[in-house]
Amino acid sequence: NAGVMQNPRHLVRRRGQEARLRCSPMKGHSHVYWYRQLPEEGLKFMVYLQKENIIDESGMPKERFSAEFPKEGPSILRIQQVVRGDSAAYFCASSQQGANEKLFFGSGTQLSVL
Amino acid sequence: GNSVTQMEGPVTLSEEAFLTINCTYTATGYPSLFWYVQYPGEGLQLLLKATKADDKGSNKGFEATYRKETTSFHLEKGSVQVSDSAVYFCALPAGGGSEKLVFGKGTKLTVNP
Protein backbone atom coordinates (compact mmCIF):
# COMPACT_ATOMS: atom_id res chain seq x y z
CA ASN A 1 0.00 0.00 0.00
CA ALA A 2 2.45 2.60 -1.24
CA GLY A 3 2.07 6.19 -0.19
CA VAL A 4 2.73 9.24 -2.32
CA MET A 5 5.94 8.61 -4.23
CA GLN A 6 8.16 11.43 -5.33
CA ASN A 7 11.34 11.20 -7.33
CA PRO A 8 14.06 12.03 -7.43
CA ARG A 9 14.67 12.68 -3.76
CA HIS A 10 17.49 15.07 -4.55
CA LEU A 11 18.05 16.89 -7.81
CA VAL A 12 21.01 19.07 -8.66
CA ARG A 13 20.86 21.36 -11.67
CA ARG A 14 23.01 24.13 -13.04
CA ARG A 15 21.48 27.49 -13.83
CA GLY A 16 19.64 27.39 -17.14
CA GLN A 17 18.93 23.66 -17.10
CA GLU A 18 15.51 22.05 -16.80
CA ALA A 19 14.21 20.28 -13.71
CA ARG A 20 11.51 17.59 -13.83
CA LEU A 21 9.95 16.46 -10.59
CA ARG A 22 7.67 13.43 -10.52
CA CYS A 23 4.85 12.50 -8.21
CA SER A 24 2.75 9.35 -8.12
CA PRO A 25 -0.28 9.86 -5.89
CA MET A 26 -1.68 7.23 -3.60
CA LYS A 27 -3.73 4.56 -5.27
CA GLY A 28 -7.27 5.77 -5.84
CA HIS A 29 -6.43 9.45 -5.36
CA SER A 30 -7.32 11.78 -8.19
CA HIS A 31 -6.40 15.11 -6.55
CA VAL A 32 -2.76 16.21 -6.65
CA TYR A 33 -1.22 19.31 -5.10
CA TRP A 34 2.27 20.72 -5.43
CA TYR A 35 3.79 22.87 -2.68
CA ARG A 36 7.16 24.57 -2.36
CA GLN A 37 9.02 24.98 0.91
CA LEU A 38 11.75 27.55 1.07
CA PRO A 39 14.24 27.63 3.97
CA GLU A 40 12.73 29.15 7.11
CA GLU A 41 9.36 29.51 5.41
CA GLY A 42 6.16 27.58 5.41
CA LEU A 43 4.65 25.66 2.57
CA LYS A 44 3.50 27.72 -0.36
CA PHE A 45 0.80 26.34 -2.62
CA MET A 46 1.74 26.12 -6.27
CA VAL A 47 -0.82 24.14 -8.23
CA TYR A 48 -3.77 21.78 -7.86
CA LEU A 49 -4.56 19.22 -10.52
CA GLN A 50 -7.01 16.47 -11.19
CA LYS A 51 -6.52 13.90 -13.90
CA GLU A 52 -5.71 15.74 -17.14
CA ASN A 53 -6.88 19.08 -15.72
CA ILE A 54 -5.25 22.00 -13.96
CA ILE A 55 -7.81 23.21 -11.46
CA ASP A 56 -5.91 25.98 -9.66
CA GLU A 57 -2.50 27.30 -10.63
CA SER A 58 -2.70 30.54 -8.70
CA GLY A 59 0.55 29.81 -6.88
CA MET A 60 2.63 29.03 -9.94
CA PRO A 61 5.13 31.60 -11.18
CA LYS A 62 3.94 32.93 -14.52
CA GLU A 63 7.06 31.89 -16.38
CA ARG A 64 9.24 28.79 -16.53
CA PHE A 65 6.97 26.63 -14.34
CA SER A 66 4.41 24.15 -15.61
CA ALA A 67 2.60 21.11 -14.25
CA GLU A 68 0.65 18.23 -15.65
CA PHE A 69 -1.20 15.18 -14.43
CA PRO A 70 -1.83 12.94 -17.43
CA LYS A 71 -4.39 10.22 -17.69
CA GLU A 72 -1.65 7.66 -17.33
CA GLY A 73 1.51 8.12 -15.30
CA PRO A 74 2.72 10.46 -12.60
CA SER A 75 2.17 14.16 -12.17
CA ILE A 76 5.12 16.21 -13.39
CA LEU A 77 6.29 19.60 -12.18
CA ARG A 78 8.60 21.11 -14.75
CA ILE A 79 10.88 24.06 -14.20
CA GLN A 80 12.64 25.43 -17.25
CA GLN A 81 15.85 27.47 -17.16
CA VAL A 82 16.27 27.10 -13.42
CA VAL A 83 17.74 29.89 -11.34
CA ARG A 84 19.27 29.79 -7.87
CA GLY A 85 16.08 31.10 -6.35
CA ASP A 86 14.30 27.91 -7.43
CA SER A 87 16.33 25.95 -4.89
CA ALA A 88 13.79 24.55 -2.44
CA ALA A 89 12.00 21.44 -1.30
CA TYR A 90 9.05 20.59 -3.54
CA PHE A 91 6.31 18.51 -2.01
CA CYS A 92 3.50 16.69 -3.70
CA ALA A 93 0.34 15.71 -1.88
CA SER A 94 -2.71 13.75 -2.90
CA SER A 95 -6.21 13.24 -1.62
CA GLN A 96 -9.33 11.40 -2.55
CA GLN A 97 -11.78 14.25 -2.27
CA GLY A 98 -10.01 17.58 -2.03
CA ALA A 99 -8.71 19.93 0.64
CA ASN A 100 -11.26 19.25 3.32
CA GLU A 101 -10.06 15.72 3.49
CA LYS A 102 -6.72 14.45 4.65
CA LEU A 103 -3.76 15.22 2.42
CA PHE A 104 -1.06 12.61 2.05
CA PHE A 105 2.37 14.05 1.37
CA GLY A 106 5.36 12.59 -0.36
CA SER A 107 8.86 12.90 1.07
CA GLY A 108 9.64 15.74 -1.29
CA THR A 109 12.28 16.55 -3.88
CA GLN A 110 15.11 18.78 -2.76
CA LEU A 111 16.15 20.87 -5.75
CA SER A 112 19.55 22.52 -5.62
CA VAL A 113 20.54 24.93 -8.34
CA LEU A 114 24.25 25.58 -8.66
CA GLY B 1 -9.35 34.00 1.44
CA ASN B 2 -8.79 32.19 4.69
CA SER B 3 -5.50 32.58 6.51
CA VAL B 4 -3.64 31.25 9.51
CA THR B 5 -1.13 32.79 11.90
CA GLN B 6 1.11 30.48 13.83
CA MET B 7 3.43 31.02 16.75
CA GLU B 8 6.97 31.49 15.54
CA GLY B 9 9.65 29.23 16.84
CA PRO B 10 11.89 27.68 17.50
CA VAL B 11 10.65 26.09 20.70
CA THR B 12 13.04 24.10 22.89
CA LEU B 13 11.72 22.02 25.76
CA SER B 14 12.95 19.36 28.12
CA GLU B 15 11.42 15.91 28.04
CA GLU B 16 8.08 15.68 29.91
CA ALA B 17 7.47 19.44 29.66
CA PHE B 18 4.11 20.86 28.64
CA LEU B 19 3.78 22.08 25.06
CA THR B 20 1.56 24.77 23.57
CA ILE B 21 1.89 26.02 20.00
CA ASN B 22 -0.50 28.84 19.22
CA CYS B 23 -2.51 29.06 16.02
CA THR B 24 -5.18 31.61 15.13
CA TYR B 25 -7.15 31.75 11.93
CA THR B 26 -9.24 34.09 9.81
CA ALA B 27 -11.97 32.35 7.85
CA THR B 28 -15.31 32.68 6.21
CA GLY B 29 -17.62 30.17 7.76
CA TYR B 30 -16.30 27.26 9.77
CA PRO B 31 -13.83 25.26 7.72
CA SER B 32 -11.99 22.21 8.99
CA LEU B 33 -8.76 22.94 10.84
CA PHE B 34 -5.62 20.81 10.73
CA TRP B 35 -2.28 20.27 12.41
CA TYR B 36 0.40 18.64 10.29
CA VAL B 37 3.81 17.46 11.51
CA GLN B 38 7.04 17.19 9.55
CA TYR B 39 9.78 14.99 10.97
CA PRO B 40 13.35 15.62 9.79
CA GLY B 41 13.88 14.63 6.18
CA GLU B 42 10.26 13.66 5.61
CA GLY B 43 7.08 15.06 4.13
CA LEU B 44 4.21 16.37 6.18
CA GLN B 45 1.73 14.06 7.78
CA LEU B 46 -1.60 14.80 9.33
CA LEU B 47 -1.39 14.92 13.12
CA LEU B 48 -4.99 15.81 13.94
CA LYS B 49 -8.01 17.67 12.64
CA ALA B 50 -11.27 19.22 13.81
CA THR B 51 -14.22 19.71 11.52
CA LYS B 52 -16.52 22.02 13.48
CA ALA B 53 -16.59 24.48 16.35
CA ASP B 54 -15.85 23.01 19.80
CA ASP B 55 -14.50 19.83 18.23
CA LYS B 56 -11.34 18.48 19.82
CA GLY B 57 -8.86 16.70 17.60
CA SER B 58 -6.41 14.36 19.28
CA ASN B 59 -3.65 11.96 18.32
CA LYS B 60 -0.45 10.63 19.90
CA GLY B 61 -1.10 12.63 23.07
CA PHE B 62 -1.55 15.89 21.16
CA GLU B 63 -4.81 17.84 21.35
CA ALA B 64 -6.30 20.92 19.75
CA THR B 65 -9.75 22.44 20.24
CA TYR B 66 -11.58 24.38 17.53
CA ARG B 67 -12.59 27.61 19.28
CA LYS B 68 -14.69 29.96 17.19
CA GLU B 69 -14.93 32.62 19.94
CA THR B 70 -11.20 33.19 19.88
CA THR B 71 -10.66 31.88 16.31
CA SER B 72 -7.93 29.64 17.65
CA PHE B 73 -6.74 26.05 17.28
CA HIS B 74 -3.81 25.79 19.68
CA LEU B 75 -1.82 22.57 19.78
CA GLU B 76 -1.07 21.09 23.22
CA LYS B 77 0.66 18.09 24.71
CA GLY B 78 0.99 17.41 28.38
CA SER B 79 4.35 15.65 28.33
CA VAL B 80 6.59 15.86 25.29
CA GLN B 81 9.15 13.25 24.27
CA VAL B 82 12.39 13.51 22.34
CA SER B 83 10.63 11.79 19.44
CA ASP B 84 8.21 14.72 19.18
CA SER B 85 11.01 16.91 17.83
CA ALA B 86 9.69 18.10 14.47
CA VAL B 87 8.15 21.06 12.69
CA TYR B 88 4.44 21.60 13.30
CA PHE B 89 2.13 23.34 10.84
CA CYS B 90 -1.36 24.69 11.38
CA ALA B 91 -3.55 24.66 8.23
CA LEU B 92 -7.02 25.24 6.85
CA PRO B 93 -8.67 25.26 3.41
CA ALA B 94 -8.13 28.51 1.54
CA GLY B 95 -11.87 29.02 1.03
CA GLY B 96 -13.61 30.88 -1.76
CA GLY B 97 -14.27 27.64 -3.59
CA SER B 98 -10.57 26.78 -3.64
CA GLU B 99 -9.47 23.25 -2.83
CA LYS B 100 -6.02 24.16 -1.60
CA LEU B 101 -4.79 24.14 1.98
CA VAL B 102 -3.15 27.22 3.47
CA PHE B 103 -0.35 26.53 5.94
CA GLY B 104 1.21 28.53 8.72
CA LYS B 105 4.95 29.13 8.65
CA GLY B 106 5.64 26.21 10.93
CA THR B 107 7.01 25.95 14.45
CA LYS B 108 10.16 23.95 15.02
CA LEU B 109 10.10 21.98 18.25
CA THR B 110 13.21 20.49 19.78
CA VAL B 111 12.85 18.27 22.84
CA ASN B 112 15.98 17.57 24.82
CA PRO B 113 16.45 14.51 27.03
Contact B98 A56 (CB under 8 A): yes
- Of B35-44, B56-65, B66-75, B97-106, where does mean pLDDT reach its minimum? B97-106
What angle is formed at CA B34 by the lines to CA B31 and CA B38, rounded to 5 degrees? 155
The pLDDT of residue A32: 94
The pLDDT of residue B7: 85
Q: Which of B31, B99, B103 sits opposite A56 (nearest CB)?
A: B99
pLDDT tens, residue by residue, A23-50: 999 998 989 999 999 877 788 999 999 9
Contact B103 A42 (CB under 8 A): yes
Average pLDDT over residues B52-78: 96
Residue A93 predicted with pLDDT over 90: yes
**Alpha-carbon distance A80 to nearest alpha carbon in chain B (angstroms):** 24
**Alpha-carbon distance A72 to nearest alpha carbon in chain B (angstroms):** 23
- With a pLDDT cut of 90, the percent of chain A lying above it is 75
Q: Which of residues 58-97 of B touch A (CB under 8 A)?
A: 89, 93-94
**Alpha-carbon distance B87 to nearest alpha carbon in chain A (angstroms):** 10
pLDDT tens, residue by residue, B5-55: 998 889 999 999 999 999 999 998 889 999 999 998 888 899 999 999 999
Average pLDDT over residues A51-69: 93
Q: B44, B48, B51, B87: which to substitute to probe chain A, counting the most A Cβ within 10 Å?
A: B44
- With a pLDDT cut of 90, the percent of chain B lying above it is 78
pLDDT tens, residue by residue, A68-79: 999 889 999 999
Q: How confident is the model at residue A98 (pLDDT cuts 50, 70, 90)?
A: low
Q: Which of B89, B98, B99 sits opposite A42 (nearest CB)?
A: B89
Report DSSP state, residue B15. Answer: T
Residue B78 predicted with pLDDT over 80: yes
Q: Which of residues 28-87 of A touch B (CB under 8 A)?
A: 31, 33, 35, 41-43, 45, 48, 55-56, 58-59
**The total number of residues written for chain A in this structure:** 114
**Number of Cβ atoms within 10 Å of the Cβ of B112:** 11
